[in-house]
Amino acid sequence: MSVLTYPCEGEEVTHNPLEGDAFDTGSMNYSIGILFLFILTIVGFLFRSRYLDRPLSGRYRFGLALLQAIPLLLLAWLLIDPRFHGGYKETLTKVIALVVDDSPSMSLSDDESGGTRLEAAEKWVEDIQRDWQEEPHQAHLSAFRTSQLVPAGVSASDYAAVIEGLLQKIQPDRLASVILIGDGQHHGPQSPVLAADSLGVPMNTVGIGAAQKSEFIQARWIEAPGEVAPGTPFLSRWQVESDTTEPVAAEVHITFASDEVLSRDISLEPAHSMQEDWIGLRSVKSGMHLLRLVVNSKRTGELITQATASIHVEASTPSILILESEPSRLAQSFSQAVLHNGRYRILRPVSLGDGSGILWDLFRSDTESQAKAPWSHEKMVRLDPSHWEALLEETLPNINMLVLGKNPLGRMPAKWLEVLEQHFQSNRTGLLALPGAESLAPRVQKGGLKEVLVLMEQRSPSLRALDLSFPEDSRNHPSLAPIWSLISRPLQIGPDKFFDQRPPYSTLLVSDPSEKPLVLETRMGLSHAILVAPENLWTLAAFGGGSEGTGTSLLEGLWLGVADYLAGYSIPRKIKVEAHPNPGVVGQQIKVIVQDPSITPGPPLSGLEVKATDGQWQVLPLSPDPDWAGLGSTTWYARQAGDYTMRYARQDSHSIQIRVLDQSPESSDRLLNESLLRDLAESTGGQYAMFADRARIMSDIDFPPLTVQRSGSFPLRHDLRFGAGLAILFCLGWGIRRLLSLP
């Protein structure tokens, strides 16, 4: 009898009961080495020349030769004739295998013991070992964890691999019975029931874990920004998770700052289900606001669940930078519109021509909104040449929108052009291009800014007056939101310029009745740009009949809509990148979602990159969501396991780490799978019991005979005594020949 100590992680079994008890095959093989050593010694003597110079002679010549030949002939005969092979018989003790599932799901708590499932199972194994040692038994008891039986890189919950590993540890004819203790959560490509059939012995299973699951419905906010800037749009993602036995009809209500922003009916299906969606919101007032998700029963109206998130709307005012060396009426009308009621802050640099410059900081507060002076709140800062040259590089990252007016850079420092080009290669600042900005086109070499300026160059004059109209397919554009009620009839501005062509994937915002493009929106790298062709758009106020006329209201509303739309793209903290699932598996589809206000429905974008730890960056196409602005996604398949970095807009602050595994991660379902454990037991003739009834597994099951008889034969050359005797006989013949040889 041999009682095994249950091996802890990292320890080996102290005794191996799998070898035979009555027959030692290792000692037989020693004779081969001994015989080889003797023969090697004799051969060495034979090849020494002085011994070969002494031939046999005299009357003993033939007798000595025969004496040396007899061992060689006897050796050949005994090795060839199978009648001289040795035989053996042995009695082996069978093994009862205790297998404990130590997969991640076994680390959950066990209600009965108060500890984890794995701790409860191991304690029972220790009790079995102690009882087995106190009472005599005719079988060995071997205990294993599933992680000790599977190859490296294979999940410990792959029951089929566990069974294959058990057969490699214990010879099939030595196996008496198998007792598996686990929760039945199998994660592997092969069926464990089919693998259990290869055991040839009963497999008894003990289920541990919660067999019943409680019903629940839970609401949560998955994504909700902690802070946002006033007036800028942002996205939040809500989720309702349920696990019920019956379908539930429910109503979802979402409120932000006490205003209801969404009401929707949902149906929660039986079993485990999950519903989630994004919602676009816009902050208006500064302060702390509550974002509330409420789920009510559609049948009774009672509250089922709710979730809240706090969002802080910062008190800072969005900033707009205007680059214009020659003042224009169009830029002035834009400034007056966005400064109204303190909605935006305007920064306007002016070069003094001697290497220095002035930065105007313009802002109009709410109390001064009715002031007669258009620039009621002004700040002027004069900068020396060194600070003036670094102004644009320091200012661009902090602004929300850029306006290029007439002759944008003029006598500005030459470094500003390089800063401007680099900024739009990796940032999302919205751009408004006004007539006169095309003068910068010859100086810009490449990139999205170059494409925008080339479009501004490609404008032609109209010989007749232009009527402003708004295409039907663009009336829902966010930049036109403030003037939706004013675009029912066209307004005339007189002869002016229009764009020669409309670029692909652009949105036509304003045109004339013949669809000549006047104002359009297009992509510019990672951001968006709105281009204005007419130079006299500011005259809408005069044609509308003064400050209270339709023209004035339409122009102010258009500028406010454009500013609100473009200013929302430059908030870096609004950008988020996430991957599902993470970690993933080699060959598995990993969905990458990018949340960026600058993304609008349209063609695929660049800007998303991925690389392995020691690899090169690879560009992934980012597809904008067809229904939601601000969302883009792509599907990525990893070909090798390892750690990957994925970034957006070439910014390390917008990057995530993705781990790719060789095998599938464990399932999130950690409940007891009784059906699998029962099938394993019944298919092999064993029994299944819950952990509470585990005692009957050891008391009620019928073990087969616990010993096995083995018999067989082995070649005589493996016998130690035969090898030694043959070598001695050969040496004796050589010695007699040596003594009787002539000198």
Coil, strand, or helix at residue 677? helix
Chain centre distance of CA 14: 42
d(CA 382, CA 24): 99
3 state SS for 370-427: CCCCCCCCEEEEEECHHHHHCHHHHHHHHCCEEEECCCCCCCCCCHHHHHHHHHHHHC
* Residue 457 belongs to some domain of the structure: yes
Provide the angle, in degrees to the nearest 10, between the axes of the packed helices 448-457 and 415-426. Answer: 110
Out of 263, 296, 313, a domain closes at: 313
pLDDT digit string, tens, across residues 601-660: 777 877 788 998 888 888 888 888 776 666 788 888 777 888 899 988 777 777 888 888
Q: Using CB atoms within 10 A of its CB, is residue 390 exposed (0-12), middle (13-18) or buried (19+)? A: middle
Query: Which residues constitute the domain of residue 681?
Result: 92-211+671-709
Select from 498, 473, 471, 470 the least CA-distant residue to 486.
Answer: 470
Q: What is the mean pLDDT of residues 88-96?
A: 73
27 confidence band (pLDDT: 50, 70, 90): very low
Give me the mean pLDDT over the 300-314 stretch.
84
Whole-angstrom Cα distance, residue 648 to residue 646?
7
Asked if residue 16 belongs to a domain, the reply is: no
Distance CA 436, CA 376 (A): 28
Residues 48 and 117 in one domain: no
Q: What is the pTM of this model?
A: 0.41
Q: pLDDT, tens digit, for every residue of 354-364?
A: 888 888 888 77
Q: Using one digit for the tens of pLDDT, what is the confidence trace for 686-720?
A: 888 888 888 877 765 555 556 656 666 555 545 55
Establish if 197 belongs to a structural domain. yes
We report the CATH number of the domain holding residue 392 as: 3.40.50
CA–CA gap between residue 565 and residue 587 (Å, rounded): 40
**Does one domain contain both 427 and 329?**
yes
Average pLDDT over residues 435-459: 87
More confident residue, 6 or 488: 488
At 70-80, the pLDDT tens digits run: 666 666 666 66
- Is 353 found in the same domain as 289? no
pLDDT higher than 90, residue 253: yes
Question: According to the model, what pLDDT value does residue 573 have?
Answer: 43
Average pLDDT for residues 22-50, to the nearest whole number? 49
Per the CB < 8 A criterion, the answer to whether 673 and 681 are in contact is no
Residues 479, 365, single domain; the answer is: yes
Please indicate, yes or no, if residue 10 is contained in any of the structural domains.
no
Does 443 lie in the same domain as 364? Answer: yes
| Least confident piece of the model among 241-245, 374-378, 461-465 | 374-378
The percentage of the chain sitting over the pLDDT mark of 70, rounded to a whole number, equals 69
What is the C-alpha to C-alpha distance for residues 568 and 565, in angstroms, rounded to an integer?
Answer: 6
d(CA 654, CA 579): 13
pLDDT tens-place string over residues 333-375: 898 888 876 778 889 998 887 888 888 888 776 544 444 444 4
pLDDT band at 4 (very low <50, low <70, confident <90, very high): very low
| Residues 520 and 437 placed together within one structural domain of the fold | yes
**The sheet that has 517-524: what strands, in order across it?**
378-383, 357-362, 345-351, 319-323, 401-404, 430-433, 527-532, 517-524, 507-511
Q: Which residue has the tokens 């404990």?
A: 100
Looking at per-residue pLDDT, the higher value among 90 and 687 belongs to 687
pLDDT of res. 7: 36
Domain boundary among the residues 521, 536, 567 is at 567
Mean pLDDT across the stretch 476-499? 76
The answer to whether residue 14 is domain-embedded is no
Q: What is the pLDDT of residue 287?
A: 75
> Is the pLDDT confidence value at 413 over 50?
yes
CA dist 273 and 271 (Å) reads 6
Angle between helices 550-567 and 329-339 (to 10 degrees): 80
Q: How far apart are CA 657 and CA 574, in angstroms?
A: 19
pLDDT at position 8 over 50 = no
Which range among 151-165, 314-328, 616-630, 700-714 shows the weakest confidence by mean pLDDT? 700-714
Structural domain total, the chain: 5
Q: What is the mean pLDDT of the chain?
A: 75
Please check whether residues 720 and 704 belong to one and the same domain: no
- Over the stretch 540-577, which tens digit does the pLDDT of each residue have? 754 433 344 455 577 888 888 888 888 865 444 457 78
Q: What is the largest CA-CA distance in the chain?
A: 150
Q: Which run of H or E residues covers position 733?
A: helix 720-740
Distance of CA 705 to the CA centre of its chain: 52
Domain assignment of residue 476, yes or no? yes
CATH number of the domain enclosing 625 = 2.60.40.10
Helical (H) or strand (E) element with 138: none
Q: Are residues 539 and 617 in the same domain?
A: no
Phi, psi (deg, nearest 5) at residue 79: -75, -30
Whether 15 is in a domain gets the answer no
**Are 251 and 264 in contact, with CB atoms under 8 Å apart?**
yes
pLDDT (0 to 100) of residue 323: 92
Does position 16 have pLDDT exceeding 50, yes or no?
no
- Residue 51, pLDDT score: 45
Closest CA to 536 of 487, 491, 496: 496
DSSP summary character for residue 605? E
49, pLDDT greater than 60: no
- Alpha-carbon distance of 161 to 99, in angstroms, equals 13
Task: Based on the fold, state whether residues 228 and 202 are members of the same structural domain.
Answer: no
Provide the 3-class DSSP secondary structure of residue 686.
Answer: coil
The more confidently predicted of residues 673 and 521 is 521
| 435 and 521 share one domain | yes
Do you know the residue count of the chain? 743
192, 306: one domain: no
Q: Are residues 503 and 541 in the same domain?
A: yes
Phi, psi of 565 (to 5 degrees): -70, -45
Say whether 335 sits in a helix, a strand or coil. Answer: helix
- pLDDT tier at 451, thresholds 50, 70, 90: confident
Last residue within a domain, chosen from 524, 547, 567: 567
In a domain, 13, yes or no: no
